Structure formats: C-alpha cells, structure tokens
Amino acid sequence: MSNENSNEFEQDETEQRNPLRAHEKAQAQRIKELEAKLSGNENAIRKLAFLENGVDVSSPVGKMFAEAYNGEMTAEAILTAATELNLVTPKENPLAAEIAGMDRMAGASKAGATGVVQDDFNTRISQAKNRVEYDALVAQQEAENNL
C-alpha cells in the first residue's frame, strides 16, 4: 500500500515539474468527454432519421431494425429498407394527382402547337429588308399575342 502512495506522490511531483504532462492529461480527459458527447449526438441523429421515415423505434421490431441497419443514412435508403421489411407502408405523394393533371395539360398544349419552329421575333425583325416586311412582322406578332 505504501508503494501505491509513493507512485501517486511521484506522479504528482512529476506533473508539478512538467506542466506539459498535466496539460496533456487534461486534454486527454477532455477528448474522452467530447467523444462521449459525440457518440450520444450520433445516436440521437440516427434515431431521428428512422423516426422521420416512419420507423417506430420504440417497438421491438423497429428497435431491432434501427440497431441492425448499417446502410446509408439517407431518407431514401432507410425508407427502402424499411419498406422491404414491411415496417412502413410506402407514402404516396399527396400532390401526385395534381402533378399528373398538370402534365396532361402541358402535353395537350404542346399537341396544339404546329410543330414548326419559328425564328425568334428579334431575329426576324433584324432580317427585315424594308419597312413593309417590318410592319408585317410586327402585325403578325401582335396577332399571335392576342390569341
């Protein structure tokens, strides 16, 4: 027992003589504390990623999935893996019907187009040879804009 006390005394004495050693020990302790905090934050972020994708991590199956999952931590990857295991049902985009309708309308408006690519109005104006051609192009443009 006296041997342990003498080692502690020698260690304290060494630290007093070498302030760098004391600083090094303090920094090592600080690193351990920060690593523990970081690990806790990573676990919280991981849990949040599963919760955001509909995986109930409080259920036994969801908890096992979250612990065993080692894929990418992206929403798509988690959702795909959870859907394959029937942990979540795939979510349908609530705006999918509206988007499809807009696509149909856009397609219909394109179908009404002549399909002939017209030169840019400014290009046609710059290529007009005289005032009559210029006036005809302006009138044509105004008629197209008023449709």
Tokens coding 25: 């020990």
pLDDT tens-digit map of 20-35: 888 899 999 999 998 9
pLDDT at position 32 is 92
Considering the chain, what is the average pLDDT of its residues?
78
39, pLDDT greater than 60: yes
Of 50, 41, 40, 39, nearest to 72 (Cα)?
50
CA distances from 140 to 37, 79, 96, 112 (A): 71, 55, 39, 19
124 token code pair? 């046609």
The answer, yes or no, to whether residue 13 has pLDDT greater than 70, is: no
pLDDT single digits (tens) 43-77: 888 888 888 888 888 888 888 888 888 888 888 88
Every domain of the chain and the residues it spans: 2-84, 96-145
Q: Would you state the pLDDT for residue 118?
A: 56
In our burial notation (b when 16+ CB lie closer than 10 A, e otherwise), range 71-99 reads eeeeeeebbebbeeeebbeeeeeeeeeee
pTM above the 0.75 mark? no
pLDDT at 113: 53
